[in-house]
Structure 1
Amino acid sequence: MSAAARRPRLRLRLRLRRQPRPAMTAAARIRRLRRRLTALFALTSAVGLIALAAFAIHTDDNSWRSQLDDTLNLQASQTVPYVSFDDNGRLDVQNLLDAMETSCPPVTVVTGTADQPTIAYTPRQPCVRVRTEDLEAVAATAMRDGSAAEVEVRGENGHQIWLLAQPYTGASGQSTAGAVVAAGDTTSSQAEHRKLALLLVTGCAVLVALSAVAGHLLSGRAIRPALTALQQQEEFLADAAHDLRTPTASLRSLAETALRDDAHRAAALERTVRLATRMGDLIDGLLTRARLMAGVGTLARQPLRLDQLVEVVVDDSETGEHRVTVHTEPVVVNADPDLIRRAVANLLGNALLHGHAPGRHAEVELTVAADGTVTVDDTGPGIPPALADSLFQRFHSGSGSTGLGLSIASWIAHAHGGTLDVDTSPRGGARFTLRLPPQARTVSPE
């Protein structure tokens, strides 16, 4: 194959390699930070616990070895004074037998030279069974060096034995005549040491696991405000897009009408000004809700004629050929006017959009009762019972909407201490009932 024929394939490979990786979302980065914090917390705890466990294990090992060494030194030092010699300079162990012979004497006496050590005295029933060659070897080392020698060996029964040999001088007191060897079984001490080490290792593992869980919980609590703020930001952007999409389209349509039709220019511009004012109110309402959800603002509650507000919302709505009927009773509620206006407008818009059969005009009826209840009835297909619980969730929508209108209305109702419910309307469609606490009436004295 020629070089020219290989070039396209090479370029394709280069293009595939240059494809960027998909960007990680902010929420994913925050969750990754949580995992890293958890790992760092667990690693820090593990390093500290392992260091403490290693120090404890090392200290315990030195402790029992030092205690055993002191015990063997004491036994050997107490035995050396009982080593005596007869008139001919030979080793006499009778004093040793009289003083040290017990059911389990702890020492062995070795005589001779470093090159040819010989056991002169050994217990009849020793507690620790040590091989003869091991006893002679450690005694020879002590006699050769002229100082105490110690070594760890394995006994006849397989136990670990610690031997300590201490030299003694002859009858003249000038030269080394032998060594006293004390023996101690370290099997039980080492078993206790291993048990302690296993306990510490297991405890460290459990504590590291607990610290990882605690770190995960603490890091989750630490990043929760960030996730909440991120979610509130996304909700704010979604709500802004939902509330401003229709007014923006209407504003553009009016501007195009004013440009094309000189006869209707004045009316179009007048409606444009009204719509622009309405968009400003919507933006203010969105900002207010964002501040309330973030906990940095409060509801602008004030006495409000709910019946008059509903009538104004209906008058400002683009109903087209749909028919909207309003029945009101005077009622005053203590609420935020902008938010309540948005809630009623969302319910009305939902009824106009979904509350009719395809190809037919909507017939919507709004009723304001004296107890602070706003009822919106339509003649549409109604709401299936299976969807009633999830209808007020964000982004739950039917055709032609983003699914935020009802969720916003539900949030506004609950923010004012009220409720928003859905049921079957006597007109055959859906009935949305917005309940707000009415303002308490004051009775003036006569």
Structure 2
Amino acid sequence: MSRPALADRIRRPRRRRTPPTPKGRIRRLRRRIALLFGLVSALGLVGMAIIAVQGDDRSWRAQVDTELRLRTSEIGANLHYDENGELTYPDPKEGDYDCPPVTLFKESGGQVSPIAAPHRPCLVVPADALQAVADEAGREQDTAESTTTTPDGHRLRLYAQPFSGPGTNDSGPVAVTAVDISGNVDDHQRLALLLTIACAVLAAASAAAGRWLAGRAVRPALAALDQQEAFFADAAHDLRTPVASLRVLAETGLRGEADSTEVMRRTLRQSTRMSELVDDLLTRARLRAGAVQLDREPLRLDQLVDTVVADTPTDGHRVTVRTEAVVVLADAGLLRRAVANLLGNALTHGHAPGQPADVEITVDSDGTVAVDDAGPGIPPELAESLFERFRSGKGSSGLGLSIAAWVAHAHGGSLTVATSDRGGTRFLLRLPVQKR
């Protein structure tokens, strides 16, 4: 290798593999689970198919061999020796050897030769195949089996059985029976083909099912990642402004450009806002994760609204409350949070710049809480998506409204927005009333 090429190779940076993202690792795990599930299923199906094919092969061969043994035994029952030790056997013209065809062999001069053959055989058996299996049975003095093919393509099964001679050490005749097994072979091959196709189809279905199951298995993990990303996005979006404001206030206080009391007051206001945002973020994350369990109990909705209004600092804004006694079955903490979010939204956005807000809260006996303001109202194009995150007016993330909507739906109610008779926005929180 030349020096320039070596230098180029040294200077050339290595390509680093980008580490997979959490979602990428989960999707890779899904593929591996699906592949493993499909592979195990395929191996199981192939194993069962092999066992079934081998079992069928042994079964039909055993059945054929049993029929052949019975056939040769029938011939053997008609073999006798006279007083001179001569073998007597049925006359082939009587048809006892025809179907299935049986050929009778006897040893003569050291060779096994046929002495009786089928008169009108139902099968044509090759003579060399008959002779070979008869020689083997006579030589071993034991049963012998073989398989051969006829010139016209038929598969034959041959079975040879030797019989005892007139004396103890004398060899007797050998009966060779043949049967056509082409149908058995075809059925066996058809079964093997069907099982192969079935295994392929079931393996494909198993792979698809494994992929679906793996997808269902990793779905909670993907949902958790989505919730985590949503939480981070909410936190980054909502905390950026108050953090920047706190930094500006700190820099202003250090430079001595403003009254320290006013700086501390504004700092306290921003820190309070950050605390509320953090609470909203955590509440929303728990709601999305399903970690919040409703603790339902009968409570006076009108009294709960009065308490929320009394605990909310108005800062010069005006809040009017009109209530009717009504009892609902709800989680007091979550419902208080929903009403407080609606009231806080009205106080923040329900007025013109530099003007105090004028908010009216009405509680009806049908379980409806109406929050009306006299602000600029909600544009019609934002009404449908108002309860989604990052979807409220004046730069707010809308977490408070989305939490209020979730609380309403969790209690079997609803939260809608409309135009108020006072010219601003009306939020209607409807809750089921407890039946007496």
Bin of the TM-score, shorter chain as denominator length: 0.7 to 0.9
Question: Which ranges of structure 1 fall in alignment gaps of 5 or more residues?
Answer: 317-324, 442-446
Tell me the equivalent position of 2:304: 304
Match 1:435 to one of 419, 422, 428: 428
- CA shift in 2, pair 1:217/1:417, >3 Å: same
- CA shift in 2, pair 1:105/1:223, >3 Å: closer
The answer to whether structure 1 residue 225 and structure 2 residue 220 are counterparts is yes
Where do residues 238-387 of structure 1 align in structure 2 (5 Å cutoff)? 238-261=233-256, 263-298=258-293, 303-305=303-305, 309=309, 312=312, 315=315, 328-331=320-323, 336-345=335-344, 367-371=360-364, 372-375=369-372, 379=376, 382-384=379-381
Tell me the equivalent position of 1:319: none
- CA shift in 2, pair 1:6/1:56, >3 Å: closer
Question: Which ranges of structure 2 fall in alignment gaps of 5 or more residues?
Answer: 327-331
How many percent identity over aligned positions?
A: 42
Contact 2:341/2:401 (8 A) holds in 1:
no
Q: Distance in 1 between matches of 2:11 and 2:340?
A: 58
Q: Distance in 2 between matches of 1:140 and 1:438?
A: 99
TM-fit CA distance, 1:283: 1.9
User: 1:197 is aligned with what amino acid?
Assistant: A
Deviations 1:58-102 (A, max 9, x none): 12211221222122122223313434578998765545655x527
The answer to whether structure 1 residue 67 and structure 2 residue 63 are counterparts is yes
- Please give the secondary structure, in 1, of the residue aligned with 2:322: coil
TM-fit CA distance, 1:11: 5.0
Deviations 1:322-353 (A, max 9, x none): xxx8674434896544454445545776788x
Deviations 1:197-218 (A, max 9, x none): 3343344344434444444444
- CA shift in 2, pair 1:413/1:114, >3 Å: farther
Contact 1:113/1:143 (8 A) holds in 2:
no
TM-fit CA distance, 1:107: 0.9
- CA shift in 2, pair 1:216/1:69, >3 Å: same
User: 1:330 is aligned with what amino acid?
Assistant: R
- CA shift in 2, pair 1:415/1:178, >3 Å: closer
- CA shift in 2, pair 1:412/1:195, >3 Å: same
Contact 1:347/1:406 (8 A) holds in 2:
no
Deviations 1:170-191 (A, max 9, x none): 6667443652111111122222
- Please give the secondary structure, in 2, of the residue aligned with 1:161: strand
Where do residues 27-38 of structure 1 align in structure 2 (5 Å cutoff)? 27-38=23-34
Contact 1:419/1:434 (8 A) holds in 2:
no
- CA shift in 2, pair 1:364/1:125, >3 Å: farther
TM-fit CA distance, 1:259: 1.9
The answer to whether structure 1 residue 141 and structure 2 residue 136 are counterparts is yes
Question: What TM-score do you get using the length of structure 2 for normalisation?
Answer: 0.76
Q: Distance in 1 between matches of 2:2 and 2:165?
A: 100
Contact 1:111/1:178 (8 A) holds in 2:
yes
Match 2:51 to one of 50, 55, 58: 55
TM-fit CA distance, 1:396: 6.0
Q: CA RMSD of the aligned region, Å?
A: 4.3
Tell me the equivalent position of 1:41: 37
- Please give the secondary structure, in 2, of the residue aligned with 1:45: helix
Match 1:18 to one of 15, 18, 21: 15
Tell me the equivalent position of 1:190: 185
- CA shift in 2, pair 1:122/1:388, >3 Å: farther
Q: Distance in 2 between matches of 1:439 and 1:183?
A: 88
User: 2:222 is aligned with what amino acid?
Assistant: L
TM-fit CA distance, 1:152: 0.4
- CA shift in 2, pair 1:248/1:342, >3 Å: farther
Q: Distance in 2 between matches of 1:439 and 1:84?
A: 104
- Please give the secondary structure, in 1, of the residue aligned with 2:304: strand
Question: What TM-score do you get using the length of structure 1 for normalisation?
Answer: 0.75
TM-fit CA distance, 1:423: 5.6
User: 2:305 is aligned with what amino acid?
Assistant: R
Q: Distance in 1 between matches of 2:392 and 2:277?
A: 21
Tell me the equivalent position of 2:73: 77
Contact 2:79/2:87 (8 A) holds in 1:
yes
Where do residues 122-133 of structure 1 align in structure 2 (5 Å cutoff)? 122-133=117-128
Deviations 1:225-253 (A, max 9, x none): 33333333223222223332222222222
Contact 2:335/2:407 (8 A) holds in 1:
no
Q: How many residues align?
A: 418
- CA shift in 2, pair 1:89/1:243, >3 Å: same
Deviations 1:107-162 (A, max 9, x none): 11234559755433222332222112211221122222222221000124311111
